[in-house]
Amino acid sequence: MTWETTEGLVAPEVAFDFSGQVVLVTGGTRGIGRGIVEAFRAAGALVVACGRQRPPDGWVDHDNLRFFALDVRSAEAAPEAVAAATGHFGRLDVLVNNAGGSPPADAANASPRFSQAIVDLNLMGPLHLAQAANAVMQTQDSGGSIVNITSISGLRPSPGTAAYGAAKAGLINLTQSLAIEWAPKVRLNCISAGLVATEAADDHYGGVEGMAEVAATVPLGRFGTPADVAGMCLLLASPWASYVTGANLVVHGGGERPAFLQAAERSHGAP
């Protein structure tokens, strides 16, 4: 099967079957989250897409796709979101904690309120949702799978978004810890995403020309797409990954070419 991404690209054929399974995706109405929702729907899943605002285009109004308004930073809202999924579809098989992000901020001047909000969004929110999902999944014969979308900012320094990088690093560790605590019924894995082409990325990197310059620094020569991340979500939530838990799958096109190599090449006159 194939599915069309939000950029109009068609993702490769996949062989995943999530027919009858219920999937909840946070931050699921745009960007990477919307790509994840589309992928699970194409694989036959019943999906609850969470976001702070309902999409205006009627995209979520389908029998196999429902919308639930959710501010991930609210601990009280987490069990309500899970209850909405189980109340409508009767069960919950997969949770994808995708909501996250941060505007740039100078760590020296960031207010405590700002930093707390970033940590709540990127670390505590996924924890609260995972707890609520786990409570349901532990009662199901088939258990369940939780996939946390983190970032390469959690694996390297994150200047300009220090609280975000620290929260994502915490989410990686949280995934590993909960994978041990909640086994064998519930599997937890995370995806450390690199540069992904979304509307937010377009704004951040200065449009087409800026994104092309940045893409040239990636070994694979391009930004990732929401479908690239979505495909890995399907894999980790599927029976193909039944012996995979506590893993961090890095999806970054090969990473970043080391700066010292570029400096050495310039010093030797290399083009």
Question: Which strand (E) or helix (H) includes residue 22?
Answer: strand 22-25
For strands 186-193 and 248-251, give the pairing: parallel
**Residues with catalytic annotation?**
164
pLDDT in tens, the chain (271 residues): 555 555 555 555 657 999 999 999 999 999 999 999 999 999 999 999 999 999 877 787 788 999 999 999 999 999 999 999 999 999 999 999 999 999 999 999 999 999 999 999 999 999 999 999 999 999 999 999 999 999 999 999 999 999 999 999 999 999 999 999 999 999 999 999 988 987 766 666 667 777 788 888 888 889 899 999 999 999 999 999 999 999 999 999 898 877 787 777 777 665 5
For strands 65-69 and 46-51, give the pairing: parallel
pLDDT value for 56: 77
pLDDT value for 81: 97
Q: What is the DSSP letter of 135?
A: H
How many C-beta atoms surround the C-beta of residue 115 within 10 A? 18
pLDDT value for 9: 55
- Which residue type does 64 have? N
**Does the CA dihedral 253-28-65-78 come out positive or negative?**
positive
With beta carbons less than 8 A apart as the criterion, state whether 33 and 8 touch.
no
125-128 LR contacts (CB < 8 Å, sep 24+):
125/26, 125/72, 125/73, 125/78, 125/97, 125/99, 126/26, 126/72, 126/97, 126/100, 126/171, 126/174, 127/174, 128/75, 128/78
Instruction: Supply φ then ψ for residue 124, to 5 degrees.
Output: -70, -40
pTM: 0.89
pLDDT value for 10: 56
With beta carbons less than 8 A apart as the criterion, state whether 149 and 193 touch.
yes
- Which residue type does 269 have? G
| Of 217, 110, 211, nearest in space to 165 by CA | 110
pLDDT value for 2: 56
pLDDT value for 18: 98
At 84, list the tokens: 């909405």
| Of 86, 88, 84, 56, nearest in space to 68 by CA | 84
The set of residues, in sequence order, having a beta carbon less than 8 Å from that of 252 and lying 6+ positions away, is: 152, 192, 193, 194, 195, 218, 224
- Measure the CA–CA gap between 15 and 170, rounded to whole angstroms: 33
How many C-beta atoms surround the C-beta of residue 165 within 10 A? 23
